[in-house]
Amino acid sequence: MLVLTRKENESIMIGSDIEVKVLDLKDNQVKLGIVAPRHIAVHRHEVYEAIQAENAQAAAAAGAAACDLSNIPKLFPR
Amino acid sequence: MRFETTRFGAIDVDPESVITFTQPIVGFQTLRRFALLPGPVSGNGEESRVRWLQSTESPETAFLLMDPRSVYPAYEVDLRPEELAELGAGSLSALDVYTLLVIPPDHTQIRTNLKAPIVINPKQRLAKQAILERQDYPIQYFLLRPSAPAEQCAEDISPEEARR
């Protein structure tokens, strides 16, 4: 992992079109500003992780070993 | 095109009907090609609006997809123009929107992920899991009232028990 030290209002560039700027530092929190092309999705890591965990649950629940799914038509009738 | 699945055995689908994900389902990075299949059928042959999304590359990997508007009528997906272009869609109306259904053994925990829907362009056969920026769509949206009895694999959960 590349480690860089930055002060408030300093930034780093990732490639030529992504900038990550330290906007504010206080109370053990860092406020970051991100400038990136629109096609680059930026999400909090914990959101991404939670979606990954829920996707794994969705696949597991749909797995062959999961319980009988024959009442799904009752829950979601056509 | 013929491929193996754990749940359905070997199945044949029209290769033209296979959907390619432009962005993977998060956590399933190596799987890009899926077939959309009819959902589970009840003992007496009733069908549902739920559909299977079966990987053509991993026999054991399948998801259940539902129409989120059946439980959350005001559900809206807002994609950036770049995301629409990625799916070869001119507008949102060209896309089919599904959410992933989680059916755990305890049916009171049935839920769907409103934060990260599966959006499919049926014409181009392109899809992705979008991550919506709005904060009010939960990753776990529970479909049954918390007061519903905690039956394991309950036989009879009436549609009236679906919240909203």
In SS3 terms, chain B reads as CEEEECCCEEEECCHHHCEEECCCCCCCCCCCEEEEEECCCCCCCCCECCEEEEECCCCCCEEEEECHHHCCCCCCCCCCHHHHHHCCCCCHHHCEEEEEEECCCEHHHCEECCCCCEEEECCCCEEEECCCCCCCCCCCEECECCCCCCCECCCCCCHHHECC
Cα(B140)–Cα(B102) distance, integer angstroms: 9
Find the range with the poorest average confidence among A11-25, A57-71, B67-81, B121-135. A57-71
Average pLDDT, chain B: 86
Q: Return the domain boundaries, chain B.
A: 2-148
Place of tokens 């918390």: B146
pLDDT band at B146 (very low <50, low <70, confident <90, very high): low
Judged on CB neighbours under 10 Å (0-12, 13-18, 19+), B61 is: buried
Bigger pLDDT: B121 vs B43: B121
Higher pLDDT, B18 or A60: B18
pLDDT: which is higher, B48 or B145 = B48
Is pLDDT of B158 > 50? Answer: no
Nearest Cα of chain B lies from the Cα of A37 at a distance, in angstroms, of 10
Q: How far is CA B9 from the centre of its chain?
A: 21
Q: Which of B21, B26, B53 to mutate to test binding with chain A, by most A CBs within 10 Å of its CB? A: B26
Does residue A2 belong to the interface with chain B, where contact is any CB pair within 8 Å? no
Which one of B86, B102, B140 has the shortest CB-CB distance to A61?
B102
Average pLDDT over residues B78-94: 93
What is the mean pLDDT of the segment spanning A44-55? 94
pLDDT per residue over B25-63, tens digit each?
A: 999 999 999 999 988 777 777 777 789 999 999 999 999
Confidence at residue B154, expressed as pLDDT on a 0 to 100 scale: 42
CATH architecture of B2-148: Roll (2.30)
In this complex, the residue of B42, B61, B154 whose CB is nearest that of residue A59 is: B61
Give the tens place of pLDDT for each residue, A11-48. 999 999 999 999 999 999 999 999 998 778 888 899 99
The CA distance from A66 to B88, in Å, is 35
Q: Which residues of B touch A17 (CB under 8 A)?
A: none
Distance from CA of B30 to the nearest CA of A (A): 14
Rounded to whole angstroms, how far apart are CA atoms B115 and B135?
Answer: 8
B24: pLDDT strictly greater than 80: yes
pTM for the model stands at 0.81
Q: Given B41, B104, B157, which is nearest A75 (Cβ)?
A: B157
Complex-level ipTM = 0.83
Q: Where are the domains of chain A?
A: 1-36
Q: B103 and A72: CB-CB below 8 Å?
A: yes
Please check whether residue A42 touches B, CB under 8 A: no
